[in-house]
Every structure is written in C-alpha cells, then in structure tokens.
C-alpha cells in the first residue's frame, strides 16, 4: 500500500447556536473547511429531547442531502470533518461522537491529538471501562461523561477534563442543548468565535463566518471555554502557560489562505514567506511556478520580491482523490500525473523556480520535477516555504516516524539529487518565525527542531536548559 506523502491534519470543527434551524449552516460550514479533513464528516443537532446525527465516510456533500438536512429543526448543533492521525480510518471513528449520560446526551468533535490517550485507555481498561473505537476522541468524551456524572455542572466537568488530557485539542461539545468550544492551554490548534445568522458560532477557521455572511469576532484563547448562545458568548478560563504553541503549519499549509489565524491573515504570511525565500535563496531563473494549491501564495511572494515572472505552470485535477493505493512504482507516477498536468508553453526551455510549502518524503516532489523536465524545463530549482521537517509530530499531523523524512541528516545538495532538482532551498527557521510574526516562544516548531511544547516520552522539551549551560 502506498499513500501520496502529503501532510494530513487531524480535523475541522464547528458549533452553532442561532434562532433558526442550524443543520444547513453546519453543512455549508463543513464544506467551507472541507480541506481540513476529507475522510469523513458528521453533524449533531439538538432536537427537543435528543441529538440527531448525520455522519459517514466521504466528503460532506456525499454524506448529507437536502432532504435529510431539512428534516432537522434544531437551532443548535456541532459538526466535524476528519482525517485520522490517531485511530484507524473507519466508520466507527467518524465524529461527532454521541453518548448518553445522566445529564442527557453529549456530542463531541475534536481537532488535535491527545498524547496521553493510550496510557489513559490502558489504565481505564484495567478499571473495567470498555471502548468501541480506536480514536483518542472517544477517551475525551468518556472522561467528560464520567465528570458529568460526578459534578453535573458542564463547565466544571469540562475544566476537570482539561486537567486530565494532554496534547492538542480544539473541541466543539454539545451537552444537552448547550454548545461549547474549547481550546487547549497551548492554543496549538485554531478555534475562533463569531456572529452568524442572528446567533453565535465557533469554528476552526474564520472563513466559515466570511462565507456564511457572518462576522469574525475573535480567536478563542488558549485554555478558554466558550459557550455560544443566541444572545452572545460566555467564557471561562483554566490556568494556561503564558507562552503558547500555535502550530506553524497552519500558516504554512493547513489553513485556507483567506483565513485569519490568531490575528494573522494566512495569505499575507505565505506571501511574506515567498519574499523571504527569494532573499534567502536567490537564483537566476525565467519563471516562478507554484505547486497548486499550497505553493501559490509562496510563489506570488517569491515572484514579487525577485521580479521573476509568475506563471501557473501546473494545472490541478480537483476530482482526483488525495490518497492513492498504488503498490506499483509506475502507478505511483501515474497518480501524480492524474493530479497535475503541465502547461508546456510556460515551462519549455525555461529555468523554473518551483514553490511549495514542504517536502516530507520527497517522493511526490521527485515526480513533479520529472513532470516539469518532461515538459521541457531547462532547469528546476525547488524552493520550500518552511524549514526541513526532521522530527515527528505528536500533536495532530500525520508524521510519526523519523525515518520517513527526506531531510533527516542530508544536505540541501543531497536532497536536490534525490528529487532530481538542480537546487533546493528551504526557508530558515528564523525567517519562518519572522514571517508568522508571533515569536518563536509562541509557536510549536517541534517537527523542525525536535523540541516540543510539552513533555513527550523520549523527546526534548522546548526552552529546556542544556546540561552544559549550567
């Protein structure tokens, strides 16, 4: 089995309370953040006495239809799109999860990854707890149900839950008819709150409010619990570190370019990355070409700064799945060629600068370089809008082992040889931090540095003093 080695982020979440039925708003909201998860999707809507669920494997529009949505009359609910980073890709792991508790039904959607999930699962099994899925999100909802059975108060129960789980999480939770948004104390995964349709909502990205005629109000803070009602937002906080750990890949790749994440417009950050790349890795060339869609803003910035013309030299087929199961090497090449087709007039006889957000294994990049050369490129210079990825992510990205990274223990020249490019240039760590503009002490850079914002077995913790510094 072979998978196209493109980064996969955990999920996207949304929660809404309005005076009108919310099912269609949840549906369209999930379609807007479909890029955050294309494996499965679901919504949960409060219907007088129970939570009504629509969910399944596939894209949002494949799972829900107009008739199903029109039958849901509830004016509050939550939604979720998923990629699996913890737990297998299967129907049993599709969210939102729903459980019966002494305080009524509870629905939950989770974006992120809980690093102590397996240890808690094993401990709870020894105590007699049983689990239906392999997802870390099931552990979250079962722990929450247990807290509710003890305290009844939803806010106190959520606060206690936050004291038990470690890792990254942006949650949408519906307890009875109350809708909550929760962001982990380090604010690793994005979550924002806004006005919409006479009510209020939380979502993974601000584009939900833009596209549904709403208004972004603010980001949910790290360690904050918000309750969205038809009249406004209530807020509670748990103790949180002063220095946050926003995932740098949100600005580099995951989020939509038109989203505002923690006060930074993603498109502007990416364009500035391209400008910085041009300064750090200048080269003589005739054209700057992006790998669509993730490299487009990087390439625009590179072109503006270098004054080398920008061109759309690769066209993307949007109807080809992101993952291929192709055991034969020739089929792997065909998989990429099905997704990308060159415009030969923009490439033939030219020295090309090829921009993208990252290189993980190098397999796909090698195939794209091959496509450009076959289209007549005289030279291909690869420019990457992030530093080399050299360490695993434990906090919500599907990168778990060091051996999979092409950059580990290799020079840029060696990487260029592997992907058959004339040169490779990565953005520097300092350049990345400068372009995002939040400072290195407020970013999670673990996959770039091997130093993480929290204690992970066998790994270094960021800001830790080395023994020889004493």
pLDDT, position 417 = 98
3-class SS at 85? coil
Map out the domains of the chain with their CATH numbers: 11-240 (3.60.20.10), 264-449 (3.40.50.2020)
- 164 phi and psi angles, rounded to 5 deg: -95, -35
**Cis peptide before 293, with omega less than 30 degrees from 0?**
yes
Cα pseudo-dihedral 15, 20, 23, 24, rounded to 10: -110
pLDDT, position 133 = 87
- Nearest alpha carbon to residue 410 among 401, 419, 398: 419
3-class SS at 411? coil
- Number of Cβ within a 10 Å radius of residue 309: 13
Contacts of residue 224, defined as CB under 8 A and 6 or more positions apart, other chains included, come to 182, 183, 235, 236, 237, 238
pLDDT, position 10 = 58
Beta bridge partner(s), residue 47: 50
| Measured CA distances, 78 to 23, 25, 52, 107, 409 (Å) | 9, 10, 11, 8, 44
Strand-strand pairing, 314-316 and 340-342: antiparallel
- Give the DSSP per-residue string, 280-322: HS----SEEEE-TTTTHHHHHHHHHHHTPPB---EEE-TTS-S
Beta bridge partner(s), residue 11: 82
Distance separating alpha carbons of residues 377 and 375, to the nearest angstrom: 6
Q: What is the 3-state secondary structure (H, E, C) of 348-372?
A: CCCEEEEEECCCCCCHHHHHHHHHH
At residue 190's C-alpha, the angle toward residues 12 and 434, to 5°, is 135
Of residues 11, 247, 393, 435, which has the active-site annotation? 11
| Residue found by looking up tokens 């076959």 in the block | 374
- Number of Cβ within a 10 Å radius of residue 413: 10
3-class SS at 125? helix
- Number of Cβ within a 10 Å radius of residue 125: 11
| Measured CA distances, 18 to 150, 196, 198, 217 (Å) | 30, 7, 6, 16
Distance separating alpha carbons of residues 246 and 337, to the nearest angstrom: 34
Q: Any catalytic annotation for residue 11? A: yes
For 145-163, how does the pLDDT look when each residue is reduced to its tens digit (9 = 90+)? 999 999 989 999 999 999 9
Distance separating alpha carbons of residues 314 and 110, to the nearest angstrom: 35
- Number of Cβ within a 10 Å radius of residue 469: 6
Query: Which residues of the chain are modeled with pLDDT < 70?
Result: 1-10, 84-90, 320-335, 337, 465-470
């Amino acid at each position: 089995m072979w998978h196209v080695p493109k980064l996969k982020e955990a999920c996207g979440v949304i929660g809404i309370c309005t005076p009108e039925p919310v099912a269609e708003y949840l549906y369209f909201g999930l379609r807007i953040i479909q890029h955050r998860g294309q494996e499965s999707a679901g919504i949960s809507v409060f219907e007088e006495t129970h939570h009504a669920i629509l969910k399944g494997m596939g894209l949002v529009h494949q799972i829900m239809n107009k008739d199903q949505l029109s039958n849901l009359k509830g004016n509050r609910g939550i939604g979720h799109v998923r990629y699996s980073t913890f737990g297998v890709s299967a129907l049993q792991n599709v969210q939102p999860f729903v459980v019966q508790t002494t305080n009524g039904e509870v629905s939950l959607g989770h974006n992120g990854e809980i690093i102590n999930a397996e240890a808690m699962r094993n401990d709870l099994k020894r105590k007699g707890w049983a689990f239906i899925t392999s997802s870390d999100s099931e552990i979250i909802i079962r722990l929450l149900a247990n807290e509710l059975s003890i305290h009844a108060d939803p806010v106190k129960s959520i606060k206690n839950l936050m004291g038990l789980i470690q890792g990254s999480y942006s949650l949408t939770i519906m307890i009875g008819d109350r809708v909550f948004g929760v962001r982990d104390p380090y604010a690793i995964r994005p979550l924002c709150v806004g006005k919409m349709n006479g009510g209020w909502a939380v979502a993974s990205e601000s584009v939900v409010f833009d596209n549904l005629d709403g208004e972004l109000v603010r980001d949910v803070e790290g360690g904050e619990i918000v309750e969205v009602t038809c009249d406004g937002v209530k807020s509670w906080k748990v103790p949180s570190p002063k220095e946050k750990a926003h995932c740098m890949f949100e600005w580099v790749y995951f989020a939509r370019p038109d989203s505002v994440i923690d006060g930074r417009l993603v498109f502007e950050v990416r364009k500035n990355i391209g400008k910085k790349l041009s300064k750090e890795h200048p080269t003589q060339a005739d054209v700057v070409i992006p790998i669509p869609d993730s490299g487009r803003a990087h390439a625009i910035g590179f072109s503006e700064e270098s004054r080398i013309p920008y061109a759309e030299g690769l066209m993307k087929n949007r109807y080809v799945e992101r993952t291929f199961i192709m055991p034969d090497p020739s089929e792997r090449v065909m998989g990429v060629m099905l997704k990308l087709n060159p415009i030969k007039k923009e490439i033939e006889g030219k020295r090309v600068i090829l921009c993208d957000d990252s290189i993980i294994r190098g397999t796909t990049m090698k195939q794209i370089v091959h496509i450009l050369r076959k289209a007549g490129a005289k030279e291909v210079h690869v420019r990457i809008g992030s530093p080399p990825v050299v360490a695993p992510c434990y906090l919500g990205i599907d990168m778990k082992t060091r051996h999979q990274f092409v950059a580990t223990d290799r020079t840029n020249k060696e990487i260029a040889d592997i992907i058959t490019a004339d040169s490779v240039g990565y953005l520097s760590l300092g350049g990345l931090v400068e372009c995002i503009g939040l400072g290195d002490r407020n970013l999670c850079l673990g996959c770039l540095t091997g130093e993480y914002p929290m204690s992970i077995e066998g790994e270094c913790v960021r800001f830790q003093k080395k023994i020889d510094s004493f």
